[in-house]
């Protein structure tokens, strides 16, 4: 990196794995100093500046890491266990345990989670303006009525914090299976394409129409795919 001045909140986001909003909050709350003086919103720094977060120096040069992880069902994405639910950090190698998740999957969901210490990367992957496509395998407790599928895909469904709208197609396994049996649940299987990321959005959308999601498994996030990663495994990726 050259010695051109950069905005403090951008620097903190990249070095600490924070969002820009979290970086601004850290500055406003007095957690950041520049050359032993309290930092202010809008400050700029260069490599000669001594930036501290809670009295610990934040190095100007750092090495970023990016990994894909297959989250199993039953694990939460926070650093702390929630009740009896363990955290996915218990499954990560120690060298990756400082990384932060890029978005989340709820405890009852599985599949692809990205982790990084690059806040700028996390911001670009999760902010709605970038419209990163996320793909999920979804199973419902009963087949989705064609009218309801059209409602979700074409008009959206009100779920309390706004209208939820996403594309739904039948799972190709369902369409190609020559031995479909009711007990397989194949007739209830769908692929969902989502560009938003509201809390439990897919589950709440189907619930608003009287369905229960019995499986929610993310297989793609932006250009990154789950591939052959087994539950609990991780792999290094390139940004």
Catalytic residues, by residue number, are 106
Distance (Å, rounded) from C-alpha 25 to C-alpha 10? 13
Question: To the nearest 10°, the Cα dihedral for 76, 102, 67, 46?
Answer: -130
In Å, what is the CA distance from 231 to each residue of 6, 61, 108, 226? 40, 33, 14, 10
| CA separation for the pair 8, 113 (Å, rounded) | 28
Q: What is d(CA 238, CA 75) in angstroms, rounded to the nearest whole number?
A: 25
On whether the CB atoms of residues 165 and 206 are closer than 8 A, the answer is no
Coil, strand or helix: which one is 123? helix
CA distance 40 to 28: 7
DSSP assigned state of 152 = I
């Amino acid at each position: 990196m050259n010695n051109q001045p950069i905005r403090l909140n951008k620097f903190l986001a990249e070095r600490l794995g924070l969002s820009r909003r979290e970086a601004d909050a850290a500055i406003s709350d007095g957690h950041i100093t520049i050359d032993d003086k309290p930092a202010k919103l809008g400050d700029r720094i260069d490599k000669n500046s001594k930036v501290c977060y809670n009295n610990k120096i934040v190095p100007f040069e750092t090495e970023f890491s990016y990994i894909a992880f297959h989250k199993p069902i039953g694990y939460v994405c926070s650093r702390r266990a929630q009740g009896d639910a363990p955290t996915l950090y218990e499954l990560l190698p120690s060298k990756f345990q400082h990384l932060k998740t890029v978005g989340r999957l709820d405890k009852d969901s599985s599949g692809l989670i990205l982790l990084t210490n690059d806040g700028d990367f996390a911001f670009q992957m999760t902010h709605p303006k970038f419209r990163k496509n996320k793909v999920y395998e979804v199973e419902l407790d009963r087949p989705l009525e064609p009218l309801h599928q059209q409602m979700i895909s074409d008009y959206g469904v009100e779920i309390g914090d706004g209208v939820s709208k996403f594309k739904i197609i039948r799972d190709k396994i369902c369409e190609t299976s020559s031995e479909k049996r009711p007990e397989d649940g194949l007739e209830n299987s769908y692929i969902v394409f989502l560009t938003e990321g509201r809390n439990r959005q897919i589950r709440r959308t189907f619930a608003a129409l009287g369905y229960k999601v019995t499986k929610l498994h993310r297989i793609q996030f932006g250009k990154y795919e789950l591939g052959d990663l087994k539950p609990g495994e991780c792999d290094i990726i390139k940004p």
